[in-house]
Amino acid sequence: MLPIATYIALLASGPASAGAIAAPAVTAAPDSGAATPDVAAVFYNPAAIAAVPGFSSMVDLQLAFIRIDATATRNDGTDPNTGQPYDVATARVKVPVGLLGLTWQVIPDRLTLGFAANDPFVGGGDYRSTEQGEVPPYTGHQRYHGINTQILTASFTPAVGVTVVDGLHVGAGASYYLDHIYVLQASDPMGTEGVPLDQIGMGVPTDPYALDTYLEGSATGHHWGWNAGLFFDRFPRAQVGLSWWSGGTFRASGDGSVDVPALLSLDEVRTVVPAKVEVSMPLAPIARLYLASQLNERWKVGLGMDWELWNLRCGGEEGDIDIKLTNENGQAIGQADGVAIEIATQQYAPRRLWNAMNGVATVGFQANDKLWLGGRLGANQYAVPDYALSATNLDFANLGVVLGGRYRVGKVTLGLAYSKFFLFTREVTDSAWNLQDGNERFSPVTPYKASANGTYSGAADAIGLRVGVDL
């Protein structure tokens, strides 16, 4: 049974999500965190909503612009099918991140209820732009890892914050997540890339990618998660927020198709087989510790740390992205579907991740009763080791800078923010495709079908708008 290895892009995400570009404070402006009492605390630390008086609401919208360039070092950058240099793979994606929420202190100084809807884990990569247009053949070296991938999770979180004693708050929230994924990915299921077809008894080749098979699918699903925390603000110069997000498992199922070339079709014509697709992908728990200090009536500073415990859930086989692919009858795609080969029903993408630690420093300046200015600096590790890296299983270490301001008119607050992330280029020369440990999840048997080796560089910018109303 022959696999189609599906590599899923996670090129951008919400705050503190590694296995992707970690983008701190993309939700809710520079000062947001586990020690910030505002509506965004439903996401960061539900205990902090207990310190928000009255009724407060917020809409925070961000648009991140992600630019990725990937070159090949495999075969000295030469495509064995054509003898020409591999195309540089590029992805240019726009990723929306937003939060809609409210809090209501139903018992003054004692009990606060909150609710937030946001998209905490989103991403994708469209590598079609430099691969001979929008239709096959796709000639970039990353085509066996994913040509176009779109991932979205939308969460809905009710939360409660309780003031235990003056200055000490606890809180918790439960999140329901809607999951969606779309993927278009190529494979050479015969493993013959670079071998002339007339040498394997299949005639004289007219197309160097004549055996490429395309998997396309769209799937939706849901999962649950929870968060909880503590917030201490008895002393303005020593505020502490501590929270835990449970993680979860992205799950989706839906319909797709496998587009099989004529050379692999029993009818010797291109065949499209309807398929069923299921995707499962663990997401890491996250621990947050933030410190804030109100130095005086104008200046406030803070430090924070996010520990993304990917290795806790993704340190072994249980961390691999698990894709199940069958025909509409739940059987392996094969001769009954007019296909000369049988395609494995169980697909895996290697994802044995490391833990990641992301640090932030914040500063805020209250210029007057109406105007607030702030900034944030973040340093982010990556969680994806070299052996699991590819154009669509990508992660960068980066530095992030966020600048923003808010202006208050009566009970309405308007805010603008700009974020710039400096991504450190990664050079990969020993990917999972070079492993020969007999683990079929990691490396196909010889001949190898593809390689993730290459140079990966990128940039990310985000602009944001906030509207808040306090009553």
pLDDT, tens digit, for every residue of 303-317?
Answer: 999 999 999 988 888
In a domain, 272, yes or no: yes
Rounded distance, CA 4 to CA 2, Å? 7
* Token digits of residue 234: 């008895």
Of residues 115 and 440, the one with the higher pLDDT is 115
Rounded distance, CA 406 to CA 390, Å? 40
In a domain, 173, yes or no: yes
Query: CA nearest 352: which of 435, 277, 274, 273?
Result: 435
pLDDT tens digits, residue range 220-248? 999 999 999 999 999 999 999 999 999 88
In a domain, 28, yes or no: no
Share of the chain above pLDDT 90, in %: 44
Q: For 278, phi and psi rounded to 5 degrees? A: -130, 135
pLDDT, residue 104, reads: 97
In a domain, 22, yes or no: no
Q: How confident is the model at residue 171 (pLDDT cuts 50, 70, 90)?
A: very high
> How many structural domains does the chain have?
1
Mean pLDDT of 2-30: 40
In a domain, 12, yes or no: no
Residue 310's H or E segment, with its range, is helix 310-314
- Can you point out the beta strands (E) in 236-308? 238-245, 248-260, 271-283, 286-294, 299-308
In terms of C-beta density within 10 A (0-12 exposed, 13-18 middle, 19 or more buried), how is residue 409 classed? exposed
pLDDT tens digits, residue range 105-145? 999 999 999 999 988 777 777 887 665 566 777 777 777 77
pLDDT, residue 191, reads: 62
CATH number at residue 320: 2.40.160.60
In a domain, 14, yes or no: no
pLDDT tens digits, residue range 318-342? 888 888 999 999 999 999 999 988 8
pTM tops 0.75, yes or no: yes
Domain limits at 270?
41-470
